[in-house]
Structure 1
Amino acid sequence: MNSNDKSEKFDFLWLVLFLIIFINGFEAGGYQASLRSIGQNYDLSETSKGLFAATELFATMLAPLILGAWADANVKTKCIKLLLVIQFVAAAGIQIIGLQSAFVVGVFFLGLTTSALQFISIAALADSYPISGSKKIGFMTSMYALGALVAPLVVEYYLGLGLTWKVLFVILAVGSLISFAGIMASGEGKREAAARGASADGSTKKETEFFLMGILLLCVIMCIYVGFENGFAYFVETLFADVLDSSLGRYALSVFWAMMIPSRVFVGYFAKRARAILLTALVAIPLLTVLVALMDNSLVVFALCIPLGFASGAIYPCVLNMMIPFAGKNTAFSTGMITTATGIGGVVFTALTGFNAEHLGMRMAIGILAAFYIFSIAAAICAGRMYLKRSQGTNGAS
């Protein structure tokens, strides 16, 4: 008994998995904050910068399609080790090789590995901690937003010291090595044993059948949301620097990401109101975005990024809450569909924003992003009605 207690005391697999998700967020936020410097280094147009950003997002979309079954068929911690090695090689290659083609290849593999590490780490946490896993996953998802929050500030600091944008990939390579060492040292297998017939959160009220239309509507919402999020985040620094003549861009990006953390905590506390919160957020985001596109004062635009980040942060947890009655027993398949939709949105809308920025101007490009939320609002209204019927039916069945 004592030896078991000691082993539990020194169990740190969950910390390593948290670190991996934090590094993923750091990579996303750092790449967004570095894109302008990278574009200057390679003399890229706005369209080319959008395509550079879309390259990573395309790989992010592919990962759940080509690696999901592989991860399920193997020990997940072993999969994580292999992916960390690939991530290290990709980050190191970008530092060492100065060719633009090498950068594109490296970024593609970084997108592939970070996406795969994201969903495999979450699955590994759930498998290893069947009792406390649901609570840990809630904190785990916040680590991504925290990493994305910190990264632009770090980028601002070392660029201010006169260092190159390649420092970001040095940090990623070191993070991959530390994570690999942590996974190696933490061992494998379950850390907790759930009682037979009991669920991790004490409620197994999802014995309904898979409902494709509901999942597809949620996919539409996530596709447009992630498309907006990436399009806005990748080009907000350019908006501040080139249009508003301000150096607040990286700080605005950090505030945008920071507000997602309390937003997701808020949704967690009021999960039963997910439908209403989702619709409110989907209406608020385009209204705030139009104001951002119209304003000439950089401080006002900076301030608008605060509620915009809070509203944006609510979308993903609300969609996941609404997914449960639609998914039935096919939660993994449903999550995969939504993940793929986010990748499609990221690729299409980021490239589209770059194209529009070059040909129509940055203000118009950001305004166009807001217009697509008309489809999200319509999808949310339809999905909300279906959600009420499904959730009531589920509760009645239980």
Structure 2
Amino acid sequence: MSDIKKKVPDLLCLALFLLIFINGFESGGYQASLHTIGKAYDLSITSMGLFATVELFSTMLAPIILGGWADHIGKKKSLILMIYLQIISCAFIGIGSSQIAFLLGIFILGISTSTIQFVGIAAVGDIYKDSGFKIGIITSMYALGSVVAPLVVGVYLKLGVNWRVLFWLIMIISAFSLIGLFDRRADWSIKKEVVHELTPKGELVIPVIMMLSFIMLIYVGFENGFAFFVNSYFLDELHSEAGEFALSLYWMMMIPSRLISGKFSQHAVRNLILATVSIPLITVIMAYTSFVTVELVLGAMLGFACGAIYPNVLTLAMKYSGRYSATATGIITTATGIGGVIFTGLMGIMADNLGYRTALILLALMFMVDIIIAVGLKLYCRHNRVNGSERISE
């Protein structure tokens, strides 16, 4: 009997990993499908950017509207209800044919994926309080889904299959994930009472959470601005159909990056500084390159650099969130939604009016803000000890 109990947390964690994989699959698949969806609805580049921001806007709203609700009813119930909502929204998109039906469905889908994201990650953080490696794994699952989806989308689009298949696939995988969540043996309260040694009385360390949120705001804005338009960039600027492969390569390189970040989570702030410096440099070089092979290599390097941001941010958030891990991840998720809305729409407008290359350069320059914040975070972690605890992640 004791052996069964020991396995329960891992079984539950696997179910949560699958949910985050689905989120990545939806994100990568939507990004890879945007060009085709734009053609189906006769959209301009600017309109495609606005289409992308609808879902990102709902991901921003979800933690604000549902954060307290999720804490009140519990992580298990909130996740199950959001999966049901995700299934319904995908069916709505799959059946509907008008722009309004699509936008409504994608808005609801954004709410469900966002809530699943911050509640699911908080649940893993509660179960494995001392394991930064688990954070590396769960963020890698998001990247894995984002890698697989563009490849799958690329195959069935070339075969002439309707782009709506993406949402039917998401619906099926989402339904499958419910099996793990309904396991009655799983103990959702495991280690819930643990209070981090770096937080006074188990409370949030607001300065750290806010700095992490701003880093994610800029990063996710950049990530979405790049990922949503990389396929169009390859088609229009490089006259190449390697866009889907470039997107998959970009996401694929995040997997080893996030696993490595989890392994060396004790250097989280140092990892963040290295990543924030590398990302704009690589992006500017990409903007001045016209060779497809070189662009693919640079895209892979960019994916590796980008991959380090999320796990290191979450590692620090878990350490400085005390008893409020869901609140911390909710705040950060809200920031990611804001960044996604602003920068994805802005990327579409800049690409439409200035061209993709200039838009990439401007996007990279905006990332300079993250370098300043990451350095400030390092200084804060170096000079501020909470309750006499050891310094962390310098």
| Alignment pair present for 1:187 and 2:184 | yes
On the 8 A contact 1:274/1:322 being kept in 2, the answer is: yes
Q: Deviations over 1:214-246 (max 9, x none)?
A: 433322221111100000000000110111001
Larger radius of gyration: 1
The alpha-carbon distance between structure 1 residues 294 and 157, as it changes in their structure 2 partners (threshold 3 A), is same
Identity of aligned residues (%): 47
Alignment of 1:4-15 (within 5 A): 4-6=2-4, 12-15=11-14
Look up the match of 2:219: 225
Q: How far has the Cα of 1:324 moved from its partner?
A: 5.7
Look up the match of 2:147: 149
Paired amino acid for 1:27: E
Q: How far has the Cα of 1:261 moved from its partner?
A: 1.1
On the 8 A contact 1:293/1:366 being kept in 2, the answer is: yes
Look up the match of 1:90: 89
Look up the match of 1:170: 168
* Aligned counterparts of 1:394 and 1:32: Cα–Cα separation in 2: 46
In structure 1, the residue corresponding to 2:200 is in which secondary structure?
coil
Match of 2:330 among 319, 324, 336: 336
Q: Deviations over 1:165-206 (max 9, x none)?
A: 11101101111221234433x126517866x9877xxx7343
TM-score by length of 1: 0.89
The alpha-carbon distance between structure 1 residues 27 and 393, as it changes in their structure 2 partners (threshold 3 A), is same
Look up the match of 2:294: 300
* Aligned counterparts of 1:154 and 1:66: Cα–Cα separation in 2: 33
* Aligned counterparts of 1:106 and 1:55: Cα–Cα separation in 2: 10
The alpha-carbon distance between structure 1 residues 340 and 30, as it changes in their structure 2 partners (threshold 3 A), is same
On the 8 A contact 1:87/1:173 being kept in 2, the answer is: yes
Look up the match of 2:265: 271
Paired amino acid for 1:355: I
TM-score by length of 2: 0.90
Look up the match of 2:197: 204
On the 8 A contact 1:322/1:387 being kept in 2, the answer is: no
Q: Deviations over 1:229-287 (max 9, x none)?
A: 00000000011011100111111111111111111122222223222221121111111
In structure 1, the residue corresponding to 2:389 is in which secondary structure?
helix
On the 8 A contact 2:21/2:142 being kept in 1, the answer is: yes
* Aligned counterparts of 1:353 and 1:193: Cα–Cα separation in 2: 43
The alpha-carbon distance between structure 1 residues 304 and 71, as it changes in their structure 2 partners (threshold 3 A), is same
Alignment of 1:1-398 (within 5 A): 1=1, 4-6=2-4, 12-126=11-125, 129=127, 136-184=134-182, 186-187=183-184, 189-190=186-187, 204-207=197-200, 210-323=204-317, 327=321, 330-391=324-385, 394-396=388-390
In structure 2, the residue corresponding to 1:177 is in which secondary structure?
helix
Greater displacement, 308-317 / 334-343: 334-343
On the 8 A contact 1:292/1:301 being kept in 2, the answer is: yes
Paired amino acid for 1:55: V
The alpha-carbon distance between structure 1 residues 14 and 298, as it changes in their structure 2 partners (threshold 3 A), is same
On the 8 A contact 1:150/1:254 being kept in 2, the answer is: yes
Q: How far has the Cα of 1:125 moved from its partner?
A: 4.1
On the 8 A contact 1:232/1:366 being kept in 2, the answer is: yes
Q: How far has the Cα of 1:370 moved from its partner?
A: 0.3
The alpha-carbon distance between structure 1 residues 386 and 98, as it changes in their structure 2 partners (threshold 3 A), is same
Q: How far has the Cα of 1:304 moved from its partner?
A: 0.2
Q: Deviations over 1:311-346 (max 9, x none)?
A: 111112222344466556654433332221111000
On the 8 A contact 2:76/2:188 being kept in 1, the answer is: no
In structure 2, the residue corresponding to 1:395 is in which secondary structure?
coil
On the 8 A contact 2:199/2:205 being kept in 1, the answer is: no
* Aligned counterparts of 2:190 and 2:329: Cα–Cα separation in 1: 25
On the 8 A contact 1:130/1:192 being kept in 2, the answer is: no
On the 8 A contact 2:265/2:315 being kept in 1, the answer is: yes
Q: Which runs of 5+ in 1 are unaligned?
A: none
The alpha-carbon distance between structure 1 residues 360 and 271, as it changes in their structure 2 partners (threshold 3 A), is same
Q: How far has the Cα of 1:15 moved from its partner?
A: 2.7
The alpha-carbon distance between structure 1 residues 214 and 7, as it changes in their structure 2 partners (threshold 3 A), is closer
Greater displacement, 208-217 / 282-291: 208-217
Q: Deviations over 1:80-118 (max 9, x none)?
A: 222112111111111111011000000001111011111
Q: Which runs of 5+ in 2 are unaligned?
A: none
The alpha-carbon distance between structure 1 residues 193 and 21, as it changes in their structure 2 partners (threshold 3 A), is closer
